[in-house]
């Protein structure tokens, strides 16, 4: 059993498709251990994406992530990390396979609907970034 972190980004929250996206996770056999809608501060977004701080798109990414509320969730299940990445589709929605969340709900490489941890190790770090252990049931 694995846990992974999912973020429904501001573009998808603004489109009112939170439920549709969470349903994709459940339909694929993942369980929602905890979920919450929050507004990230600039400091939160910079810290969360610190790994990308030297990339040319870092400022745009931070500004986009604070442009509206996001929904952060812990998803749980067999191969949760890989399963979530598969459901999300490629980073650029233009390259995302048909039927993936990004193909169906995303507009562009920055407004790309969802984030998902890319490894079990990062999943642990990202879950701890947003949730106290006692919140996860």
Work out which of 20, 91, 104, 120 binds ligand GDP, going by CB under 6 A.
Answer: 91
Give the CA distances from residue 18 to residues 1, 13, 36, 60, 82, in Å, rounded to whole numbers and listed in that order: 24, 6, 11, 23, 21
- Choice among 9, 46, 85, 115 that is catalytic: 115
Token digits for 71?
């929904």
Q: Minimum distance between the CB of residue 61 and ligand GDP, rounded to whole angstroms?
A: 5
Q: In this complex, which beta carbon is closest to ligand GDP, that of residue 99 or of residue 135?
A: 99
Q: Which stretch binds ligand GDP (CB under 6 A): 21-29, 74-82, 104-112, 129-137?
A: 104-112
Contact call for residue 115 and ligand GDP (CB under 6 A): yes
Give the CA distances from residue 96 to residues 3, 36, 58, 77, 123, in Å, rounded to whole numbers and listed in that order: 23, 26, 22, 23, 22
Contact call for residue 61 and ligand GDP (CB under 6 A): yes
The CA distance from 75 to 32, in Å, is: 5
3-state secondary structure (DSSP) of residue 53: coil
Residues that bind ligand GDP (CB under 6 A): 57, 60-61, 91, 109-110, 112, 115, 118
Q: Catalytic positions, please?
A: 115
């Amino acid at each position: 059993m694995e846990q992974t972190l999912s973020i429904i980004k501001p573009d998808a929250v603004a489109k009112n498709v939170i439920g549709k996206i969470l349903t994709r996770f459940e339909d694929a056999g993942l369980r929602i251990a905890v979920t919450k809608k929050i507004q990230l501060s600039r400091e939160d977004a910079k810290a969360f994406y610190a790994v990308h701080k030297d990339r040319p798109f870092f400022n745009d990414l931070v500004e986009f992530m604070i442009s509206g509320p996001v929904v952060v969730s812990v998803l749980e299940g067999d191969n949760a990390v890989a399963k979530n990445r598969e459901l999300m589709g490629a980073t650029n929605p233009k390259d995302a396979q048909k039927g993936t969340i990004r193909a169906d709900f995303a507009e562009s490489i920055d407004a790309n609907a969802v984030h998902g941890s890319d490894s079990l190790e990062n999943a642990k770090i990202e879950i701890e970034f947003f949730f106290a252990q006692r919140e996860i049931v």
